[in-house]
Structures are given as structure tokens and as C-alpha cells.
Amino acid sequence: MRLPFQGGTTLELSDMSRRTRIVGHAVEVPSADIENPPLRPVPSRPGKGNSQQPNTTAYLALFGVAMLWGSYAPAIRYIFLSDEPPSAPVMNALQAILSAMFLAGSSIAAAVTHKDPNAHPEMSNPLAAESAAIAQVVAEAEVESGQHEGRRTPVSALEHWCAQALNWKSDNVVVVGFELGLWMCLAFGLEVLGVQLISATKTAFLNQATVLITPLLVHLSGEDVKKHEWLACMLGLIGSLLVAVDGLANSGGGDANALHGAVSVGDEENPLGYLYVLISAVFFAMTTVRLSRYSTSFPSLTLASSSTFGLSFFSMVWVVASWHGEAHGYSDTMRSLKHLFNDPVSSAVMLWVGLGPGALATYLQASGQQSVPAAQAQVIYATTPIFATGFAMLTLDAADESMGVIAWTGAALMMGASLLASVGGGGAQSDEASGNQE
């Protein structure tokens, strides 16, 4: 790799496994263990490094992002409570199509306005965008507070294998697209299955587990995880268990319409909903970690397009597999789609899933984070379940969406844990850093 310097001087590095740090005109090449995988790159965001002071509009934009993301789970739940809802595979495919439509619009807009396609978001689906944004502001908060990630030596062959697997990279954009598409399909599919079985309110709070699972994957990738992040993971685990326990204690009779056309289970099997959502958080975290590996290797729009293609492919495979080779599978799918789009309210809600929590939230996020510090952005994003609760109470059955004291206690623990994982332990250092700048 050649590094250009002023005056035409060029530095060539033949050992790609070594990390180079450039400060001014000085170049420092620290010793490195070639056996260890490379460090996870810190994702960048539009406007990073901008000295612009945040204003009220920027904060309102980020609160708008949290509000739009909060409308996602209630919107999906509303569709599943309709008279003839689409199946989970069909809903997953519809989300992929909406993402593809958004990316097509982004590509056209970039071509017409001659804007840099790298400035476009890497994720257009609201849940993927949320998990990626949370991981992004976590990394930026550490940089802003002077914290840096360290390497650790794997203590076992299993850890060494996990580190190599999580840090593996392909230079083929098609392979990358299929890999990210697979993780996204598993995450979205399990999320959709879960929201059919439990309330949108609890789904929104359990989604916070993504930011808590990410440090576990980071640890397996060979990087050090701070003590406050481990504490946050423990608090998040306790909180998710409390939310699930409250749901099991109060599940006396679910709405059969929520299960119609999707998963044929009885009320006694509703605990599967909690399991689906929590496992989906694992795959969302996997998407986030793997996305960070590729974010510096490919243009954002290229990365998003390839991953959306992979998501669409695996989603359609799931749709066809759900037919079980029966002739009426195709006709049932077309009938549910016809019923969905013949209902103006359901059609509007489905379009809102792509345009509101998807497109609009993504651009508000890019606008707001140009000036709002990462740590403050994470605090705002943590309010997403609160907005989800409000939307669920207004648009769905308030009795079904209500949570008991145990669940609210667990929800508070999960929100506190997500904040601790992102900004905990860095406040003092941030203040010191800002004082030094002054």
C-alpha cells in the first residue's frame, strides 16, 4: 500500500497486516502480531469531524428518527392483526422490495444531483439502520471520549477460530452481498415471526438487546470489551428476562388473528415470540459487526445494493420454501397480497414502513448526526421503545400492548443497559478532552 505525503514522498508498506498511525508528518508503525486478525474499522458518518455546533433543528431531527423507528413494530403488528395478513416469509420479502425501491430512488437521486454516492446510508431497512446507527455512535463515542479498542490474545482454539471467522473479509461485492443478505434475512425473518406472537411494545424493548449482544461478538472477534460493557450485557439480560417473565405471567389469551396465516401455534406457545425476537437481535448484531468490516472497503451505496439483493434472494427462497411444494401455496400468497393492497389502510401502513422508518428516518439521521455528538445521539436513540409504546397504545389494542410492573422494570433495565454500553465510562474522559480543547 502506498501512502502519499507532501512534496511527492511516497511510503510503501508491503506488510498489510501491520497498522500504521500517521500524526502530522510523522509515521509510526507499531509492532503487531500477524496471527491476530485486523482491528475493526470505526465506521464513519457524513459530517464526521465537523466543528458545527448542534442546534435545536439537529436535535429535533434525531428525535424524529427515534419516533419514526418507534413506529416500525406497531406498523408491522397492525398488518398482522388484519383479517387476512400475509405470511412471515411474504412480509419479509415485501420489506426487501421496499428497501430495493428506496435504494433505486437513492441511486437516481445521486445521479441527478451528482452527489457522492458514499454519502448515502448503508442500510435502508429501519431495523438494520437502527442497529448500524447504534453501533456507529458507540464507536464514535469512544473516539470522542479518547477511548481506544485493544487486542487480546485468544485463550483457546475456539476463540481463535471465532476471531478469524468474524474478521474474515471478501473483496468480491457479490459474496459480501450474499453474506450480509443472509444475516439480514435471518434477523428480519425472526423479528417478523416474533412480532406475530408478542406485543409491539415488548418487541420494541427486546430489540434493544442488539446493542448489548454486539459487545459479545466484538469480544469473540478478538477485541477487548470494557467492564462497563459487560455490566451492561448482564443488566440487559436481566431486563429481557423480566420482560419475558411478565409476558408469560399475563398471557391468558392471545389474539388468534395475530397468528392467522403465519405460525400455527397456540397461546401456550407464545414464549416462542420472545425467543424469536432475542435470536433476531443476535443476527442484527452479526449484521452490524460484519457491516463494520466492509464499510471501509466498498462505497456505501454499492454495499447497500449488494446486501439488499442478497436479502431479496434469500427472502424469495423462504417464500418458495414455505409453499412446501403444494400448488395452493402460490395462490394463497397472491390472495393475501391482493387482500393487503386492496385495503387502503393496510397498504398505507405497508408503504409507511418503507418511507417513514426507512427512507425519511435515514435522511434525518444523516442530517442530525452532522453536528450532534455521538454520545448524545445514542441517548436520543434509546428513546425509540418509548415512542413505540405510544404508537402501539394509539393504534393497537391498548390492553394487549400494556405491560406490567415487572416488564416496565425490565424495560428500564434494558434502556439503561444500552446507554451504559454506549456512553458509560466515558463521561469523565469526554469532559477532560473538551477541557483540553478549550
pLDDT tens-digit map of 354-375: 778 877 887 787 777 777 776 6
Q: Break the chain into its structural domains and give their ranges.
A: 62-157+164-425
Is residue 377 within 8 Å of 144, Cβ to Cβ? Answer: no
pLDDT tens-digit map of 109-140: 777 776 665 554 545 455 555 555 555 555 55
Does the pTM surpass 0.75? The reply is no
User: Percentage of residues in the chain with pLDDT exceeding 70?
Assistant: 68
Residue 356: closest CA among 81, 75, 86, 92: 75
DSSP code of residue 118: G
Residue 41: closest CA among 146, 183, 140, 165: 140
Residue 130: closest CA among 285, 290, 341: 285
Q: Which residue has the higher pLDDT, 290 or 4?
A: 290
Q: Mention every residue, 6+ apart, whose C-beta is less than 8 A from residue 223.
A: 39, 40, 149, 150, 151, 152
pLDDT band per the 50, 70, 90 thresholds, residue 46: very low
DSSP code of residue 223: B
d(CA 369, CA 111): 24
